[in-house]
Structure 1
Amino acid sequence: MGIGKKARNIGHIVEGKAKEKTGRALGNKSLQRRGKTEQAMGKMRQAVEKGRDTFKS
């Protein structure tokens, strides 16, 4: 996995966690959901990249 893609994926996860926590603190359910979705996207992309690396070797 390229370092840039890995950093971007981790960035999505961290940004999602921040949105979720902010949404929880403000009582904003929509922001919480968007945060959870963004975390899931980052984790899914990271898993796809790891799978690609496995097949390259």
Structure 2
Amino acid sequence: MIPELGRTLVCEDRGGKIKGNRLDIYMNNVDKALHFGKRRLLVFVMEGDVSN
């Protein structure tokens, strides 16, 4: 859960090159991803089925 985005996202790939307290957010639009850029956000890690 990323409160600033108001969304719960599923982490499907943590990648081998991602180290420490970092994660990637997939966006299907390159322009929106570039505009979003790199940010520091509060993230809550949830386990189990969060599809509800």
Q: TM-score, normalised by structure 1?
A: 0.23
Q: Which structure would you say has the larger Rg? A: 1
Question: Larger relative CO (CA 8 A, sep 6+): 1 or 2?
Answer: 2
Q: Which has the higher helix share?
A: 1
Q: TM-score, normalised by structure 2?
A: 0.24
